[in-house]
Amino acid sequence: MSGSVRIPFSWLVVGLVMLALLGLKPTRAQAQGQRRVVQFTGIIATGDSLLGVPGATVFVPKAGRGTATNAYGYFSLPVLTGDSIVIRSLGYRNQTVVIPPDYQRQSYSVIVQLKEDATILPEVRIFPYATEKEFKRAFLALKLPKERGSAMADNLNEQVLRRIFNNAPVTSMGNYRQTMQNQQYDQARRMGTAPTPQTNNPLLNPFSWLQLINQIKQGEFKKKEGVDY
């Protein structure tokens, strides 16, 4: 036919590709629209109690963002449905919380109890010598100080210790103890109860004479019947 228009084959291929791309764009936008924003909140606590863990990190690896708990173990972080959140803290095992993809509410709250991650390190012994052979050689070559004339023997000399004891000044605690004893003695002396030669002798103690007179008046020294003195 003379009135027909021929379209190049290359144009048809380009048109089909463009239609395919236009058809995929709404699908991607629709898929992104299905992931809703959720406010993820909670408390990070220790496994054996409900004490909050401060400074624990709440991190979304795929998104590259996160937050940390406050002094009470509380955190708040906006996430998307379907996100996997990793919770970490030094000395505890990592835990992962996954937001359900079909979650419909605006907030998602959890209480995560971390378990301790105890790591037992191998025993390490530190020696001043690199090898056992060097230690034996140094030990055999060791010269111990003699008992007489050594610094240790001079410091433990009886005369030296006695001289240090006699010349040592009184400490603050000794002064305090001596002052308190003097005050107690002065108070007891004013009240007449201080231990003096006069008070220790019952014949010179007026309280002893008063007690003796009261006993005589009450007849405690009268001979009782049936009692052999």
Q: Are residues 110 and 128 in the same domain?
A: no
How many angstroms separate the CA atoms of 167 and 183, rounded? 26
Q: Are residues 130 and 109 in the same domain?
A: no
Q: Are residues 48 and 89 in the same domain?
A: yes
- Write out the residue range of the structural domain in which residue 130 sits: 124-195
Query: Of 65, 87, 114, which residue sits at a domain end?
Result: 114
Given a cut of 80, is residue 159 above it in pLDDT? yes
**pLDDT by residue (tens digit) across 96-108?**
999 999 998 999 9
Q: Are residues 110 and 150 in the same domain?
A: no
Is residue 172, in this structure, part of any structural domain at all?
yes
Is residue 22, in this structure, part of any structural domain at all?
no
Given a cut of 60, is residue 113 above it in pLDDT? yes
Q: Are residues 66 and 98 in the same domain?
A: yes
* Closest C-alpha to 106, from 128, 81, 134: 81
**pLDDT by residue (tens digit) across 74-90?**
999 999 999 999 999 98
Is residue 185, in this structure, part of any structural domain at all?
yes
Q: What is the pLDDT of residue 28?
A: 44
